[in-house]
C-alpha cells in the first residue's frame, strides 16, 4: 500500500511539473523579403535565431493566444479577360502558371479566394447578361437564361484552380441586371425596376445553381458591384442602401432559403468612403437576417472604415473584394508599400477574412476590355502573341500573405512600438505563426518577441517581409 501511494505521489509531482514548466526551446524563423528596388522579390533569407536580449528591446510583440477573425485567404478575380488569356496559353504553360498561382508547392502563391462576374464587366470583350432577350422583351420566366458565356473560359479555369487548390472559395458579383429589368433598358446605367425584384432574385439563384452544376460552387455573392456608381461605358447599376435592404431582405434572401442555397450574401461591394451605406442595410432587420458580411473596395476612403461597421455588427464578416493596380501608379516601391499596408495588413487588422485584387491576368494593352479601365494592371501580364508571362508587383504583394497564411488561420495579437513599421500576424491551423511586415522608415534591425524569445530581422527601408515560425515544440 505504501509503495503504491509513493508511486501515485511521484506521478503527481511529474504531472504537476509538466503542467507548470514548458520547455521553451528557441526555434528558427524563416524569412522572405521583397525590397523596394525590386532586386529581391519574395526572396528567402537566412534563418533567424533567437538573440540574447531582454523583452524591453522588442519593437514588436506577437501574442498567439490573442485571436481575432478566422481567415479564408487572398487572391484576385478571374474576369473574362483573365480566363481568356490563361485559356489561350499552350496547355503545358497554362498548367504551369495555374499551378504556380493556386498551389503552395514549389513556391507557388496558394491563392485561396477569387471573384467571378455575373455577366459582363468592363473586362469582357462584349457586354452581356445571362438573360438577354430579342428586342429586350421582358422574360419573367427566365426562358432565355443561360450562363453559356461563362462556360467558355471562366468555369474551366476555376475548375482547374479548384483541382489544384480545393480550399479555393469563390464569390460572384453582377455588374448589371439584364437590360429589360432596368429603368435605362440598357446594361449601361439605370436602376432595377421594383416589379422585377423577385425575378432578379431568381436570376441570381439560377446563376448560383448553374455555376454549381458546372463544377464551381459559389461560397458568397453580392447583389451588385459598386452600387453607388453608374459607369457610362460598361455595365453598371445604381442600387441604393434602402433598395438593397428590400431586395436582400424580401427577395434574394428568402429565394435562396427556399431553394436551400448555402451561398452567403454580402452587402455593399463598394469603397471605404461610405460606411454609412452598409450600416443602413444592416440596420434593416429583414436584410440583416440574410447578410453574412460586408464587401469593401479600395478606390476611395481608407481601410479603417471597415472597423466601425464590424464593431456595430460584430457577427458580420468583412471582406476586401476589389482593388486594382494600374499605370496611374507605375512605381514598384510605391505599389508594394501601399498595397501591403492597405490590402494585406490594413484589411486584416480591420477584420477582413480575405482580400482580393481585381484582374488576375491582363495583356500588355491592359485588356481585353470593353469600356471602363484602360490602364489597369493584372497580377500577371500575359502576352498572347508570345505567351510570355510577367509577374507584376501585385503578384509579390499577394504572395507575402497567400503563400504563408493558410485557410483557417486566425489573426493574432500584434503590438508595434515602432511607428515606421506596419504589421499583421496569424496563427495557422498547423500551429505555425506568420507575420507580414512593411518597413516604412528607419534602418535599424527590427526586434520581435514571440513565445518569450527575441528575434532580430534586418529590413531595409521600404521592404516587405514575411516571417514564419514553426509550431513550438511544446505544442507539437
Residue 24 is predicted with a pLDDT of 57
In the block, cell 493566444 appears at 65
Residue 404 is predicted with a pLDDT of 98
Give the span between the Cα atoms of 413 and 335, in whole angstroms: 26
Give the span between the Cα atoms of 228 and 231, in whole angstroms: 10
Do 374 and 27 touch, CB atoms closer than 8 A? no
Pairing of strands 325-326, 376-377: antiparallel
- pTM across the whole model: 0.93
Residue 25 is predicted with a pLDDT of 65
Q: Which fold would CATH assign to domain 72-404?
A: TIM Barrel (3.20.20)
Mark 90-101 as b/e (b = at least 16 C-beta within 10 Å). eeeebeebbbbb
Question: Cβ-count burial of 249 within 10 angstroms (0-12 exposed, 13-18 middle, 19+ buried)?
Answer: buried
Give the span between the Cα atoms of 183 and 351, in whole angstroms: 37
SS3 call for 327: coil
Give the span between the Cα atoms of 443 and 316, in whole angstroms: 40
Instruction: Find the farthest-apart pair of alpha carbons in the chain and give their distance in angstroms, rounded.
Output: 98
What cell was used for 351? 477584420
Q: Which of 224, 86, 233 is nearest to 159 (CA)?
A: 86
Give the span between the Cα atoms of 76 and 330, in whole angstroms: 19
Residue 3 is predicted with a pLDDT of 39
Which helix (H) or strand (E) covers residue 310, if one does? Answer: helix 306-312
Do 264 and 284 touch, CB atoms closer than 8 A? no
Q: What is the DSSP letter of 309?
A: H
Residue 14 is predicted with a pLDDT of 28
Mark 345-378 as b/e (b = at least 16 C-beta within 10 Å). bbbbbbbbbbbbbbbbbbbeebbbbbbbbeebbb
What cell was used for 123? 473586362
Do 176 and 187 touch, CB atoms closer than 8 A? yes
Positive or negative, the CA dihedral 87, 132, 190, 266 is: negative
One of 3.40.50.2000, 2.40.160.40, 3.40.50.920, 2.60.40.1180 is the CATH number of 30-69+411-475, namely: 2.60.40.1180
What cell was used for 384? 498572347
Angle of CA points 70, 225, 194, to nearest 5°: 120
Give the span between the Cα atoms of 239 and 125, in whole angstroms: 25
Q: Which of 472, 383, 476, 475 is nearest to 26 (CA)?
A: 472
* Residuewise pLDDT in 10s, the chain (476 residues): 333 333 333 333 222 333 333 445 678 999 999 999 999 999 999 999 999 766 677 899 999 999 999 999 999 999 999 999 999 999 999 999 999 999 999 999 999 999 999 999 999 999 999 999 999 999 999 999 999 999 999 999 999 999 999 999 999 999 999 999 999 999 999 999 999 999 999 999 999 999 999 999 999 999 999 999 999 999 999 999 999 999 999 999 999 999 999 999 999 999 999 999 999 999 999 999 999 999 999 999 999 999 999 999 999 999 999 999 999 999 999 999 999 999 999 999 999 999 999 999 999 999 999 999 999 999 999 999 999 999 999 999 999 999 999 999 999 999 999 999 999 999 999 999 999 999 999 988 999 999 999 999 999 999 999 999 999 875 54
Give the span between the Cα atoms of 409 and 265, in whole angstroms: 22
Give the span between the Cα atoms of 47 and 29, in whole angstroms: 6
Do 238 and 177 touch, CB atoms closer than 8 A? no
What cell was used for 442? 528607419
Structural domain spans, the chain: 30-69+411-475, 72-404
What cell was used for 194? 421594383
Amino acid at each position: 500500500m505504501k509503495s503504491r501511494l509513493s508511486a501515485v505521489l511521484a506521478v503527481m509531482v511529474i504531472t504537476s511539473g509538466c503542467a507548470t514548466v514548458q520547455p521553451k526551446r528557441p526555434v528558427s524563423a524563416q524569412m522572405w523579403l521583397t525590397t523596394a528596388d525590386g532586386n529581391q522579390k519574395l526572396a528567402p533569407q537566412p534563418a533567424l535565431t533567437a538573440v540574447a536580449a531582454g523583452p524591453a528591446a522588442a519593437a514588436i510583440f506577437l501574442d498567439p493566444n490573442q485571436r481575432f477573425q478566422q481567415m479564408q485567404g487572398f487572391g484576385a478575380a478571374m474576369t473574362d479577360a483573365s480566363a481568356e488569356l490563361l485559356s489561350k496559353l499552350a496547355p503545358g504553360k497554362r498548367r504551369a502558371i495555374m499551378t504556380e498561382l493556386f498551389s503552395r508547392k514549389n513556391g507557388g502563391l496558394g491563392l485561396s479566394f477569387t471573384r467571378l462576374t455575373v455577366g459582363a464587366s468592363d473586362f469582357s470583350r462584349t457586354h452581356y447578361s445571362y438573360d438577354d432577350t430579342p428586342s429586350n422583351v421582358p422574360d419573367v420566366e427566365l426562358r432565355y437564361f443561360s450562363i453559356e458565356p461563362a462556360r467558355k473560359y471562366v468555369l474551366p479555369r476555376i475548375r482547374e484552380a479548384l483541382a489544384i487548390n480545393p480550399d479555393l472559395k469563390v464569390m460572384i458579383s453582377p455588374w448589371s441586371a439584364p437590360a429589360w429589368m432596368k429603368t435605362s433598358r440598357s446594361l449601361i446605367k439605370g436602376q432595377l425596376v421594383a416589379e422585377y425584384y423577385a425575378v432578379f432574385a431568381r436570376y441570381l439563384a439560377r446563376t448560383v445553381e448553374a455555376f454549381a452544376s458546372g463544377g464551381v460552387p459559389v461560397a458568397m455573392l453580392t447583389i451588385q458591384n459598386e452600387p453607388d456608381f453608374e459607369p457610362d461605358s460598361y455595365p453598371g447599376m445604381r442600387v441604393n442602401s434602402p433598395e438593397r435592404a428590400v431586395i436582400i431582405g424580401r427577395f434574394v434572401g428568402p429565394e435562396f432559403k427556399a431553394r436551400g442555397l448555402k451561398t452567403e450574401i454580402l452587402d455593399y461591394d463598394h469603397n471605404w468612403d461610405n460606411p454609412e451605406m452598409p450600416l443602413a442595410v444592416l440596420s434593416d432587420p429583414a436584410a440583416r437576417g440574410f447578410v453574412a458580411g460586408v464587401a469593401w473596395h479600395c478606390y476611395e476612403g481608407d481601410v479603417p472604415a471597415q472597423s466601425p461597421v464590424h464593431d456595430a455588427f460584430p457577427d458580420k464578416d468583412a471582406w476586401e473584394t476589389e482593388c486594382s493596380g494600374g499605370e496611374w501608379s507605375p512605381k514598384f516601391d510605391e505599389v508594394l508599400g501601399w498595397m501591403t499596408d492597405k490590402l494585406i495588413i490594413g484589411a486584416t487588422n480591420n477584420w477582413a477574412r480575405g482580400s482580393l485584387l481585381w484582374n488576375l491576368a491582363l495583356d500588355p494593352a491592359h485588356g481585353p476590355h470593353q469600356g471602363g479601365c484602360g490602364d489597369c494592371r493584372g497580377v500577371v501580364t500575359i502576352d498572347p502573341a508570345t505567351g510570355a508571362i510577367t509577374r507584376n508587383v501585385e503578384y509579390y504583394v499577394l504572395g507575402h500573405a497567400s503563400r504563408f497564411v493558410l485557410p483557417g488561420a486566425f489573426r493574432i495579437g500584434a503590438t508595434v512600438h515602432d511607428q515606421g513599421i506596419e504589421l499583421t500576424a496569424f496563427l495557422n491551423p498547423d500551429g505555425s505563426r506568420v507575420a507580414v511586415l512593411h518597413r516604412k522608415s528607419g534602418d535599424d534591425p527590427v526586434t520581435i518577441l514571440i513565445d518569450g524569445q527575441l528575434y532580430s530581422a534586418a529590413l531595409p527601408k521600404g521592404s516587405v517581409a514575411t516571417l514564419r515560425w514553426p509550431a513550438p515544440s511544446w505544442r507539437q
